[in-house]
Amino acid sequence: MKLIALVLLVPIAVAAAHRPAPSAIDSDTVVTGRVTDAASGGALSRVQVSLDGHAEGALSDTDGVFEFTVPAGLSGTRVTISARHIGYEASSVTRRVRGDTIRVDFALKQAAMKLNPLVISEAASAVPQMDGRTRMTYIAGAPAHPGMTVRMVDPDWNTENYDVINENEFRSVTAEPLSTFSIDVDRASYSNVRRMIRSGSLPPKDAVRIEEMINYFPYTPVAPSAGEPFSVVTEMIRAPWQPRHHLARISLHAERVDLEDMPPNNLVFLLDVSGSMMPANKLPLLKKAMRMLVAEMRPQDRIAIVVYAGSAGLALESTSGAEKGRILEAIEGLEAGGSTAGGAGIRLAYDVARANHLANGNNRIILATDGDFNIGVSSDAEMVRLIEQKREQGTFLTVLGFGMGNLKDSRLEKIADHGNGNYAYIDDLAEARKVLVSEMGATLLTVAKDVKVQIEFNPKLVRAYRLIGYENRLLANEDFDDDGKDAGEIGAGHTVTVLYEIVPVGVEGTVAVREPGDLRYQRPAAAVGSAPSNELAFVKLRYKQPTGSTSRLMERAMRPELSRGSEDIRFAAAVAAFGMLLRDSDHRGSTSFDLVTSLATDAVGADTDGHRRGFLQLVSDARRLSTVAVGDDGR
């Protein structure tokens, strides 16, 4: 018996020897440092410095300096800190964190790019479509030689899903004088594209929604007139990629609402805690994003948390924003595991929102997920029908996408669009702060819903036009006056920018324009003698109040004056040109990385938040990837 007792005690003793001693340190550790090029010693900006296995990290600034905080829970342990940047070898160091400040500097060595094996197909038709193990990456710029298509094969499992985008063509004003569509305030495409480029690959063309890239950036606000939820601004310049064409901008500006002036919030966080959410850039990042939002909540706001994995459950009943400790405790207790009962989670979230409905408040569900629903209601059609039924209760929806490898982008976009909401993609903590703190009003508070735009072009001045982007937001012309037709929503502080490329009357040979053939019984519309010569187009907008069911009409005439244009239209043109490069658009004209960089540099402006300078860095990174992948001069 004594021998048995001794044997039984050995494992216990060994386990105790390996158990880390409890740390007496109970404070955060600040990690700071500088990143430089090992060869030149120059500062490197936009380098991702992160804590391996955790969501903590930061991007280096223009001086190469970075700083982030390691939570007190890791004090006393050894952590690995890594620096990664496109075109450079990754570098890592291990340090013990002790609740003080530690400095870690990196000198990164340039390296030949190893994106993934290049597979060359002699014709585009020979390139297979995206499947579970192959991600199509469309290379911007000229192919290696005419008729050759380049793709990269990702050896890792990849089931990301994007709807096909059939790019808008030029329309003849004689045949189709009206252009009708629903506005779009989603910004997910830009941050998702940024994630891919930072990770070392160019995005698939269907991930590039140009209107979302343009609308990612803030523009100069214009206060609306009394009684209207937004203002309308128009201007026109020469199209930078085709100087014989014009580029018209129509922008809608919703007035910003300060936090203290917002109505009380009834928020239900609907959080995916399934097994697919385990990686650091998913649930751990989501929890940090939630903490940011909770910090901004007021006592009159209420927050509930519904989670779903193998089944759905209520992790936190509706709780006053004054009880931040209780809310944060519930967030800290979230762990990932199991499969994904997305449908059951959405139903429960709407039930919780309905039970705590605020008649004069902002009732909203915030769904955070990678979109990988696989139990219960799983088809896109079923999910859309469910969301449409529930939105009639007056509860709107914000969708936050996370992660990579299995992001169901097309599904998340549909859910947001049909739920009277918006869709953002969170790729890092800076984006979480932008969406949930800096732009909280736009994210959470709708000021106008079912917003539709209809443009009538004047055939005296316009031969043809092309709407840049908004391919999945097009409406039939008769839908404009149909109040039963769902359309987009505008949040407080949102700016919606619309760009049209215009072929003036008299300009021939620049693009193919399909004109209508001869008709037996009627003639296509033509320029009538009474058409005003001082109007390029007539802009009509319809919108409803957030709780209304009858639309209101706004009308504006757009003048044909050309100008150098504001910084806003020139920067928007740069973003549109970049999107056309990434999509390898048939309409990119003389667009090049040099043109994009020149346009954006000239229109950076004050850029107090640094987003426009960040765009310039992204263009530089994409140019490097394009050059390495195709082996050309980076055009």
3-state secondary structure of 399: strand
Tell me how crowded residue 526 is: count the other CB atoms within 10 A of its CB. 11
167 Cβ contact partners less than 8 Å away, ≥ 6 residues apart = 471, 583, 585, 586, 587
Q: Which of 269-278, 349-358, 462-471 has the lowest mean pLDDT?
A: 269-278
Q: What is residue 377's predicted lDDT score, i.e. its pLDDT?
A: 52
Residue 126: pLDDT band (50, 70, 90) is very low
Instruction: Supply angle C-alpha 305, 306, 309, rounded to 5.
Output: 135
Contact 541, 224 (CB under 8 A): no
Bridge-based pairing of strands 462-467 and 495-504 is: antiparallel
Domains and CATH numbers, the chain: 29-108 (2.60.40.1120), 171-257+448-630 (2.60.40.1230), 264-441 (3.40.50.410)
Q: What is residue 103's predicted lDDT score, i.e. its pLDDT?
A: 92
Q: What is residue 113's predicted lDDT score, i.e. its pLDDT?
A: 40
Q: Which of 81-85, 93-97, 419-423, 628-632 has the lowest mean pLDDT?
A: 628-632
Contact 249, 499 (CB under 8 A): yes
Instruction: Supply angle C-alpha 610, 613, 614, rounded to 5.
Output: 80
Whether the per-residue pLDDT at 630 is higher than 70: the answer is no
The DSSP call for residue 437 is I
Residues 371-386: b if buried by 16+ CB within 10 A, e if exposed: bbbebbbeebeebbeb
Contact 49, 106 (CB under 8 A): yes
Query: Which pTM value belongs to this model?
Result: 0.76
Contact 558, 250 (CB under 8 A): yes
Q: What is residue 21's predicted lDDT score, i.e. its pLDDT?
A: 44
55 Cβ contact partners less than 8 Å away, ≥ 6 residues apart = 280, 281, 284, 285, 287, 288, 429
Single-letter amino acid, residue 162: Y
Q: What is residue 477's predicted lDDT score, i.e. its pLDDT?
A: 97
SS (HEC) of 84-102: ECCCECCEEEEEECCCCEE
The stretch 531-538 carries a mean pLDDT of 89
In the structure encoding, which two tokens stand for residue 461, read together?
A: 């001045």
Contact 44, 85 (CB under 8 A): yes
303 Cβ contact partners less than 8 Å away, ≥ 6 residues apart = 265, 267, 268, 269, 294, 297, 316, 318, 319, 321, 327
- Alpha carbons 306 and 273: distance in angstroms, whole number: 10
Highest mean pLDDT range out of 273-277, 428-432, 478-482, 516-520?
Answer: 478-482
Contact 200, 579 (CB under 8 A): no
In the structure encoding, which two tokens stand for residue 521, read together?
A: 């019984």
The stretch 384-409 carries a mean pLDDT of 83
Q: What is residue 526's predicted lDDT score, i.e. its pLDDT?
A: 63
User: What strand order describes the sheet that includes 91-96?
Assistant: 57-59, 48-51, 78-84, 91-96
Question: Per residue in 251-275, pLDDT tens?
Answer: 999 988 888 889 999 999 999 898 8
Q: What is residue 64's predicted lDDT score, i.e. its pLDDT?
A: 87
Q: What is residue 157's predicted lDDT score, i.e. its pLDDT?
A: 53
Q: What is residue 26's predicted lDDT score, i.e. its pLDDT?
A: 67
Q: What is residue 43's predicted lDDT score, i.e. its pLDDT?
A: 85
Greater pLDDT, 117 or 237: 237
Q: What is residue 331's predicted lDDT score, i.e. its pLDDT?
A: 94
Residue 524: pLDDT band (50, 70, 90) is low
φ, ψ for residue 499 (rounded to 5)? -115, 135
Q: Which of 53-57, 337-341, 425-429 has the lowest mean pLDDT?
A: 337-341
- Mean pLDDT, rounded, of the chain: 83
Greater pLDDT, 146 or 108: 108
